[in-house]
Structure 1
Amino acid sequence: MLQTARVTAKTVFAEHGRVVFEAVSKVYGSVCAVDDVSFDIEPGSLVTLLGPSGCGKTTTLRMIAGLELPTRGRIVIGGRDVSMLPATYRNVAMVFQSYALFPHMSVIENVSYGLLMSGIRKTEARLKAEQALEMVGLAGYGARLPSELSGGQQQRVAVARAVVLEPEVLLLDEPLSNLDAKLRRLVRDEIRSLQQRLGVTTVYVTHDQEEAMAVSDAMVVMQSGRVAQRGTAAGLYEHPRSSFVASFIGEANLLECEARQSRDGKWVATIAGSEIAVSDAAVLAGPAKLVVRPEALRLTQAEAHDGLVGEIESCAFLGDRVLYRINSPIGLLYHTEYQAPIRNMDSRSVGLLLDPGKLKLVTD
């Protein structure tokens, strides 16, 4: 019996912080906001739910929090089925997009509020709140009101208020949407560093692909209420399985083509009579999309090139890079050149070199 108890305790510890969705759906009247979603989030990892507005990512987050209950399916947190449990019975904490700080309370009162509501003594709650503020770099700010803080500082107070509860799972809903670009980069790095120090399982919702790629251990890309693809940032960028994922993760030109395999098993994309060798394919033979990333295309002198030739329609200088819009026999191409001078626009013709090893074929 003692051995059984040890095994059970070990299993519970291993499951602490794990989040599992099993065929979960959420229906509002005639609208299916989340449709048959399944995924597994490893304990201690930071996973981003990424997708455009209306794809179901925030509804999914709210179901983890217990603010919404699933219509169908099963949600398991830390080895416990919480599908029908409200938020108060789940050991999770959520940082809202609006921060939701109490404007009439000081910073220290905001951070300690949840502890006091859980029955912790005032002196102990204050000590824990001060430690949480120090953890997010706001030691000494406890007496201020939220209105006396910058947007980034308010964001950190909201995070401190969540982590002080020592949740099993931390939920972040578009946490940087109210910040300017420079502050977004700073705060996202702080959130990632804090999450790694605490080792808390974190689910992070955003529509910003760069933000997601910068902070995530793994990403769940959502489309129309379903999971389009799950993987690491590198895996999703290098091996997308659909045109939606290819266009949402990183820059990409998507060109309609016919995909087929040659006799030696290699893939070929046919576009407007041109045959282009491709190394990676997530398709069957037939209509497909050719994914041309910036690194897969190189521009050369047209007169010294006997392959594809395009015409530069416009260019934009963006500091560290130049963005070209090119009309070509295989379609309109957008191409980025980094740390390169603007080309001589007196000669708009350019040769187009495509690297087969960096081209992908995906379904529509």
Structure 2
Amino acid sequence: MKLDTNWQASEQTSINLNDARGSIVFRNVVKKYGAVSAVNGLDLEINRGELVTLLGPSGCGKTTTLRMIAGLELPSTGTIAIGGTDVSRLPATYRNVSMVFQSYALFPHLTVLDNVAYGLRMGGLKTPLAREKAEDALSTVGLAGFGPRLPSELSGGQQQRVALARAIVLEPEVLLLDEPLSNLDAKLRRYVREEIRTLQQRIGVTTVYVTHDQEEAMAVSDRIIVMEQGKIAQAGSPADLYHSPQSAFIASFIGEANLISCAASTVANGDRVAKIGDYRFTVPGSNVSEGQATLVIRPAAISFSTNADEGMPSMITSAAFLGDRVLYSIETPIGRLFYVEYTSSIRHPDRTEINITLDPAKLHLV
């Protein structure tokens, strides 16, 4: 599939969403299906104009939460407010919310222009004005001139943009994106996620994005809400979640990390020391409780040392060449670690004996 990448330069639009109210507030929301709680006591606030991603494994409650914002599901208990109005019991047709589905859900027998104008026409807008607004929306997403085509004549990335145009033409308070890139290949996903972020920032609409892809979430979000078993496990900026995870679950789910069990104790200056066998690692600024803990070792914390007198004597058990980087698996005295080295060739073959050191500033305890 070929992607148009020049649409981001287009500033033509008559759609003004900069005044969108769009705040979203959940208060103690529970959603049950029989005896099963898909969402359990959710308290959540999303500010006007934010792009917030709901992230988590399958079954964590993220899609149910999105569908409750849309009005496709109603909470069992608790309240949901959009723009300061309680919408807890309002069906989808009475909410100023637009949703983009992972399947695009375009009408195959309608032209691109008629697909985008469909919601406006169903809302009672006369056809000439609906088509005019649809043309503006297509221009906004870089598809000016594509109106006469059928969806089958477009690439996957272009179809996704049509779905976005159909959503934003309604000038919603809130834009909802449900796994919007799951049907695209890896390279195209990178392009389209940049387009979505650029468009969202330009029109200023509050956006809630659902994905299970942590790299995707980190690339597009102002904030990420990581969910686990129907609750918020941790919320914050991508940098906050990566550098300051509050649990082993967050550390493993946001970015790549080696997780090693350890015993944590306090030293005189208040830093923590992680004890693993005969090895001690100082972790500055940690507030984890003393006792059993988990040492989070990001690949960036690991360095190969040529000095046999420092670090831990280790052995490379495998080296996978991935083009611009090599992924090493290393057997160490504290357990097996993986390490990513950005290089154009494999410099350390399997069974190479090395010493490795860990940068204390890049270690974390949970």
TM bracket, shorter-chain basis: over 0.9
Matched, 1:115 2:129: no
Where does residue 212 of structure 1 map in the other structure? 217
1:154 matches 2:159 = yes
**Cα distance in 1 between the residues matched to 2:19 and 2:158:** 34
Q: Which amino acid aligns with 1:228?
A: A
Residues 1-364 of structure 1 mapped to structure 2, 5 A cutoff:
16-301=21-306, 304-339=308-343, 341-345=345-349, 348-362=352-366
- Count of aligned residue pairs for this structure pair: 349
Contact 2:214 2:254 in 1 (8 A): yes
Asked if 1 retains the 8 angstrom alpha-carbon contact of 2:23 and 2:84, the reply is yes
* Matches of 2:164 and 2:143, distance apart in 1: 11
Q: What SS class does the counterpart of residue 40 from structure 2 fall into?
A: strand
What's the C-alpha RMSD, in Å, of the aligned pairs? 1.5
Query: Per-residue deviation at 1:266?
Result: 1.2
The two structures have a TM-score, normalised by structure 2, of: 0.92
Report sequence identity in percent: 63
TM-score, reference length from structure 1: 0.93
3-state secondary structure, aligned to 1:132: helix
Change (3 A) 1:189 1:15: closer
**Alpha-carbon shift at residue 282 of structure 1 (Å):** 4.8
Deviation at 1:343, TM superposition (A): 2.7
* C-alpha contact (below 8 Å) 2:310/2:357 kept by paired residues: no
SS in 2 for 1:204: strand
Q: Which amino acid aligns with 2:300?
A: E
Inter-partner Cα distance in structure 1 for 2:31 and 2:20? 25
**CA deviation map 1:301-350 (0-9, x unaligned):** 2x523331111111111111111101111111001111264234376211
Q: Distance in 1 between matches of 2:235 and 2:125?
A: 40
> 5+ unaligned residues in a row in structure 2: which ranges?
1-17
Summarize the Cα distance change of 1:182–1:344 in structure 2 as closer, same or farther, 3 Å threshold.
closer
Query: Separation in 1 of the partners of 2:302 and 2:355?
Result: 10
Report the secondary structure of 2:74's partner residue: coil
Cα distance in 1 for partners of 2:285, 2:80 equals 35
The more displaced of 160-169 and 188-197 is 188-197
The one-letter code matched in structure 2 to 1:343 is R
8 Å contact from structure 2 (residues 66, 210) kept in 1: yes
Task: Give the CA deviation at 1:14.
Answer: 8.9
- Quote how far apart the aligned CAs of 1:116 are: 0.7
Q: Cα gap change, 1:344/1:107 in structure 2, threshold over 3 Å: closer, same or farther?
A: closer
CA distance in 2, matches of 1:14, 1:185: 29
Shift of 1:84: 1.0
Q: Which whole-Å CA distance do the structure 1 matches of 2:42 and 2:55 have between them?
A: 14
CA contact (8 A) 1:279 1:358 kept: no
Structure 1 unaligned regions, length at least 5:
1-12
Other structure's SS at 1:202 match: strand
Distance 1:173 1:348, change over 3 A: same
Aligned equivalents of 1:340, 1:241: Cα separation in 2: 35
Please state how far the C-alpha of 1:263 moved relative to its aligned partner.
2.6
